[in-house]
Amino acid sequence: MKIKDIYNFLDELSPFELQEKWDNSGLLVGNFDDSFSKVYISIDLDEELIDTFEENSLVITHHPLIFSGLKKVNYNTYSTKCLQKLIKKNISLISMHTNIDKTHLNKYVVEEILGFKIINQNEFISNVEINMSFEKLVQHVSSKLGLKTLKAVKCQENIKSASIVTGAGMSLLDEINTDCFLTGDIKYHDAMEAKSRGVSLIDIRHYESERHFNTLVAGLLEEYLKKNDLQAIITASKNPFDFFTEQGETIE
């Protein structure tokens, strides 16, 4: 199969033109006329993961390996080290970032993983009815996303409605008009701002809220690949963060 065939299929599922202006989704490594024999799916890339890939393969990631223009490739940064390995092994790379956030990923995590019903959707933001105590909501989210620790800002005892954005969504705070905002990468001053507005926060983390990209895309591609005698191989880069107890033990 050629890259252009699967690219066109993905483009029909989630048009690349929907990506944000600052984004860099699409074919980042390889040529549309290149052929491939294996398909890997991962939220991100890292060097150890690329080492496991077979040559002449295709990898589909959520986060683009390259966001802005490269003026030099000295193999001394994260992106250029990965690029070197991809090129040496003739591995092509397609990234689906903000386009699939808008069309599939946020909805998938909210409905299939967290088990909430979306009452309305505004591009990145899924609004849901909650009607549970703040503590029970924290427990529910922790359980569904497999979070051993969680940081939050509590402004209400009971949460009637919530807005959810996977990945990093605090730049969308001005658009939140529900009791609680669930997103990742929440910073200290973000928390101060939300508290002043009376909006509760639950940090669902970046990696943990978006790692379900793998199963989502594998499911979307399953029938298409089967017709071409291919199968998506779900894999995952390692979360760069480790979490420790106060005794210095790693939290799995």
Q: Can you tell me the distance from the alpha carbon of 240 to that of 243, in angstroms, rounded to the nearest whole number?
A: 10
**Single-letter amino acid, residue 149:** T
Q: Can you tell me the distance from the alpha carbon of 114 to that of 129, in angstroms, rounded to the nearest whole number?
A: 12
User: Does one domain contain both 118 and 39?
Assistant: no
Distance of CA 58 to the CA centre of its chain: 19
128-149 pLDDT, tens per residue?
Answer: 999 999 999 999 999 999 998 8
Q: What is the pLDDT of residue 249?
A: 67
User: Does one domain contain both 115 and 189?
Assistant: yes
DSSP string, 121-185: EETTEEEEEEEEEHHHHHHHHHHHHT-SS--EE---SEEEEEEEEEEE-GGGGGG--SSEEEEE-
Residue at 239 is within a domain = no
Residue at 116 is within a domain = yes
Give the angle subtended at the CA of 17 by the CAs of 96 and 125, to the nearest 5°.
Answer: 65
User: Does one domain contain both 139 and 163?
Assistant: yes
Residue at 64 is within a domain = yes
Residue at 246 is within a domain = no
Question: Do residues 199 and 176 make contact, with C-beta atoms less than 8 angstroms apart?
Answer: yes
65-112 pLDDT, tens per residue?
Answer: 998 888 888 999 999 999 999 999 999 999 999 999 999 999 999 999
Q: Can you tell me the distance from the alpha carbon of 57 to that of 92, in angstroms, rounded to the nearest whole number?
A: 6
Q: What is the pLDDT of residue 34?
A: 94
User: Does one domain contain both 114 and 26?
Assistant: no
User: Does one domain contain both 25 and 104?
Assistant: no
Question: Do residues 141 and 108 make contact, with C-beta atoms less than 8 angstroms apart?
Answer: no
User: Does one domain contain both 15 and 110?
Assistant: no
Q: What is the pLDDT of residue 247?
A: 61
How many structural domains comprise the chain?
A: 2
Q: What is the pLDDT of residue 245?
A: 72
Residue at 252 is within a domain = no
Long-range contacts of 150-155 (CB under 8 A, 24+ apart): 150/202, 150/203, 151/186, 151/203, 152/200, 152/201, 152/202, 152/203, 153/191, 153/194, 153/195, 153/199, 153/200, 153/201, 154/200, 155/179, 155/194, 155/195, 155/198, 155/199, 155/200
- Domain carrying residue 88: 3-96+210-234
Q: Can you tell me the distance from the alpha carbon of 132 to that of 180, in angstroms, rounded to the nearest whole number?
A: 11
CATH of the domain at 10: 3.40.1390.30
> Which helix (H) or strand (E) covers residue 215, if one does?
helix 213-227
Residue at 146 is within a domain = yes
Length of the chain: 252
Question: Do residues 3 and 90 make contact, with C-beta atoms less than 8 angstroms apart?
Answer: no
User: Does one domain contain both 216 and 91?
Assistant: yes
Q: Which pair of structure tokens corresponds to residue 65? A: 């390996």
Residue at 245 is within a domain = no
User: Does one domain contain both 82 and 130?
Assistant: no
User: Does one domain contain both 120 and 39?
Assistant: no
Residue at 243 is within a domain = no
| Weakly modelled stretches of the chain, pLDDT under 50 | none
Helices (H), 23-124: 47-52, 78-88, 98-100, 106-108
| Helix, strand counts (H, E) of the chain | 9, 11
User: Does one domain contain both 109 and 151?
Assistant: yes
